[in-house]
Amino acid sequence: MSWLISAALICCLLGGLIWKGYQLSRQPWNLPLQGIVGFLAFALIGRILRDVVGDASLVRGGPVWSAVAWHAPTSAAVLSLLFFFDAATLPRQVAKRRTRRNVLVLLAAEVVMIGAAILAPAPMSIPYMSVIYFAANAFMGCALAACAISALRYARQAERRLALGLRVAAVGFALTAVTSGIFAAIDVEYWFTGTLFMNIIGVNGTLSFTGIVAIVVGLLYPAARMRLTAIRIWWRQRQAYQALGPLWTALHHAFPEDEFLRASTTPWDSLRVWDVHRRYYRRMIECRDGLVRISPRVAKLREDHPANTPLSDLIAEALQGSPVDGEHQRAVPLAIPETNSAHDEVDELVALSRAFAATRSATSGRAA
């Protein structure tokens, strides 16, 4: 199961890197995007190296170079994430200056890690591995604490939905920073005593995982909310598009010249968000144009029918006449909502279309 999780993680990182890398190729000057691409690239390298060279820890032991191969790119990934927040919230030159300083700190930490691996007397020397872990945990603890501060700074500048996600992420960053500091203290304790407090390691690992989950949830929350909103709009427009079908079909049959020119379509067009949006508004406008064309006939029929005659009945009867009837008469408003809202106008047209379909169905039933 672990290999399956690792493969899924690699696929997600690779897919995100290709997507954001393509965006960066079109906006190479975008500093926050550079930070995201750097984070995805270093996280992907670290994940692949961990699978290739094997895992290593103070508890289980393992090759010292495995610890370096995992922690060096992971530390760079955390620094890239910090660069993203700095670039998104600070002036361009200030963000660059802070990043150059942070890169020097990262290089110092990685020199310590590599030096410990070189000086280790054996390939699986746990004492020297504690030095590697201390350098990595100390650096990532400081970087994650800085990410928490930057995320809160970003939240103060952002709109409400994004600000909520950033505050949740800031809590996650702060929690993982604290757990990284505790892990660094455990590394020091192990260097001097050669013992590990397994209960503390277990609890701290759980807290660290909780912090990572909070970071992921916080960073994904705004995008997820946006996507859910887009899906709701897509579903509502698709339902309205289909509900307008009976009225649109009848009006289109009577006035085919009012149809907009259509772009080439494919079977997938009925599902794509943009195509559903475009078809929805086109059908709404074509229905409204058709009602304008038919309105003089409806107004004339209304004079000969009771005042409570449904509009759908009058339209159905008007459509049975000649297309040229009332061609030069003045148009009158039909199915106009009380408010000036496009959403209410669509609701009015949908209600009319459903009533029109019921009228047609009843008429067909009597004829049969």
pLDDT, position 149 = 92
The overall pTM is greater than 0.85: no
pLDDT the model gives residue 101 = 92
Question: In this predicted structure, what is the pLDDT of residue 148?
Answer: 93
Pick out the chain residues at pLDDT < 50: 1, 264, 270-271
Q: Given CA atoms 287, 292, 295, 297 in this order, what sign does their dihedral have?
A: negative
What pLDDT score was predicted for residue 366?
Answer: 55
User: What is the three-class DSSP state of 255?
Assistant: coil
What is the pLDDT, as a whole number, of residue 1?
A: 46
Quickly list DSSP for 271-324.
Answer: TSHHHHHHHHHHHHHHHHHHHHHHHHHHHHHHTTS-TT--HHHHHHHHTTS-TT
Angle subtended at Cα 15 by Cα 268 and Cα 205, rounded to the nearest 5 degrees: 130
What pLDDT score was predicted for residue 168?
A: 92
pLDDT at 20: 82
Number of H helices, E strands in the chain: 11, 0
What is residue 57's three-state secondary structure?
strand
pLDDT of 167 reads 92
Any idea what DSSP says for residue 59? T
